[in-house]
Amino acid sequence: MKLNGSEIIVECLKEQGVDTVFGYPGGAILNVYDALYKHSDEILHILTSHEQGAAHAADGYARATGKVGVCLATSGPGATNLVTGIATAYMDSIPVVAITANVTVSLLGKDSFQEIDITGVTMPITKHNFIVKDVTKLADVIRRAFTIAMEGRPGPVLVDVTKDVTADICDYFKVIPEAILRQTDTIKADDIDIAVKLINESKRPFIFVGGGAIISEASDELREFAKKIDSPVTDSLMGKGAFDGSDPLYTGMLGMHGTKASNFGVSECDLLITIGARFSDRVTGNVKKFASKAKILQIDVDAAEIDKNIKTYASVIGDAKEILKILNAKTTQTDRAEWTSHISEYKDKFPLTYNQKELTGPYIIEKIYEVTNGDAIITTDVGQHQMWAAQFYKFKKPRTFLTSGGLGTMGYGLGACIGAKVGCKDKLVINIAGDGCFRMNMNELITATRYNIPIIQVVFNNHVLGMVRQWQDLFYNKRYSSTVLDDQVDFVKLAEAMGAKAYRVTKKEELEPVIREAIRLNIPVLIDCIIDREEKVFPMVAPGAAISEAFNKEDLDKKNKEI
């Protein structure tokens, strides 16, 4: 049948099973919005308050559901407003398709009104991008975009469509998408044999899990693997939930704000089995001292990650789920009680602690975990609250912790929370934000109230940029340059003005009843939690130090007394 370009875009979205898109209209993309209007009973469009919110919502939808998230924006500033969200998805390997419209072909390159070379802008932060200037190529490009976004190591893809293409007419034929197969052709028998030998011979193995284990849906195989080789398990920020955070073999997060049990254990192990992690600087600390007693076995779908940051002893390239299936079949059931007991002693000796007398970030996270029984989807912004959420909420399942790991995007959480809730309507979804982060994209609370999306927004309000101030306190001799937020902003009144129910909590005993009431109401709710600005995230590894040099508050107090 003959359709115009905008109708072809909508039909291609339907082919891919897209049920929701997030976006903001404008002149160049009006034809697409007109086509969406005619299909509003098939594809839900969520109008966000800002295009960045749309990108983060698509990202959160993708992380929570495992499907491709879709966002739309018009040309010029509409397209550039997507950039931070696209970069966030790129750094964390999240499948998002961003569709933008541009000026007509005849106006390209002439500094036309609201013209921008968005494919040039986003080339370094997309897995691939396209500009479509011929309507006959449009359908194939949209289909390729979805395939590229999902296959192998996922990532965002941008499709820019000129306005005349959205109006031009050509033949459209429906195509059923082919299943995207897991990457197995790169799994070599010799690599598997070496891996099996290393695992069976190891006396002190440690498993380090990243976001790739979640992407490949390898949680069941990972659990079997850890039990079979009797190895402790640590994770990165992106890997949370891949392995049950309440399991006795779990030791907590690794790296700058990881537990001492994980940091010390990895520093002592003889084999570090890394699954779907890229050895970020926040994980490794001083790379020359990282896991210095261990042989590194890296399992990853992306060959470019091997030896990029840390030199490996051996590697297996391919889908983590498929590789773990093979390793589970070939490795020997082993009892390493002496090693796991040693790590358990570290867990007992160096537990995560915090001030129990006052309302604090860790207390809020623990109370949320208790009330939700660990079954909520938690989204976060970036900073102290993010680290406390990673430390004190025991994530039991994958796709329940959504956060900006690689880019560290302040303002990410609320949009992602909305996207996650739209994608997982039966799940309780809570966003944790600091007051600094919340200010950046709090306008998306309007999006939640417009559509009555029942999310809970918790603000850790310490009237400072907490993590930056923590660094200033520890490493800049308490010179608090531009990190104090002492002003008259009232988040409760702001939330109420945007149509949400809002509460302020100042004492520990006030918190639980408010959380339960927020859950019961099942509407957009904000909880403004007033906490002390002096609270810090511990343990911590100083910049440039080895992870074995992690210190906590007691270590710091002892050091200061000695000085």
Residue-wise DSSP of 250-298: EEEE-STT--HHHHHHHHH-SEEEEES----HHHHBSTTTTTTTSEEEE
Pick from 124, 354, 390: nearest CA to 282: 390
Note if 163 is an active site residue: yes
SS3 assignment, position 432: strand
Say which of 113, 188, 203, 370 is annotated catalytic.
Answer: 113
Note if 442 is an active site residue: no
Token pair belonging to 494: 């702001």
Contacts of 339 (CB under 8 A, 6+ apart): 203, 204, 205, 230, 232
SS3 assignment, position 132: strand
Amino acid present at 223 = R
Nearest-angstrom CA–CA distance, 561 and 563: 5
CB count within 10 Å of CB 139 equals: 23
Token pair belonging to 397: 């399942």
Note if 467 is an active site residue: yes
Q: What's the pLDDT at 450?
A: 98
Nearest-angstrom CA–CA distance, 146 and 143: 5
Note if 553 is an active site residue: no
Contact 396, 374 (CB under 8 A): yes
Distances (CA, A) of 325 to 71, 193, 275, 322, 467: 35, 14, 13, 5, 40
Nearest-angstrom CA–CA distance, 92 and 56: 12
Pick from 366, 460, 364: nearest CA to 410: 460
Say which of 127, 163, 347, 396 is annotated catalytic.
Answer: 163
How many Å from the N-terminal Cα to the C-terminal Cα in the chain? 80
Say which of 467, 498, 536, 540 is annotated catalytic.
Answer: 467
Nearest-angstrom CA–CA distance, 104 and 76: 13
CA 179, 182, 188, 193 dihedral sign is: negative
Rg, Å, the chain Cα set: 24
Intervals of the chain under pLDDT 50? none
Please name each of the domains of the chain with its CATH number. Answer: 2-171 (3.40.50.970), 189-349 (3.40.50.1220), 361-537 (3.40.50.970)
Note if 173 is an active site residue: no
Say which of 11, 51, 322, 535 is annotated catalytic.
Answer: 51
Nearest-angstrom CA–CA distance, 30 and 192: 53
Say which of 114, 289, 295, 551 is annotated catalytic.
Answer: 114
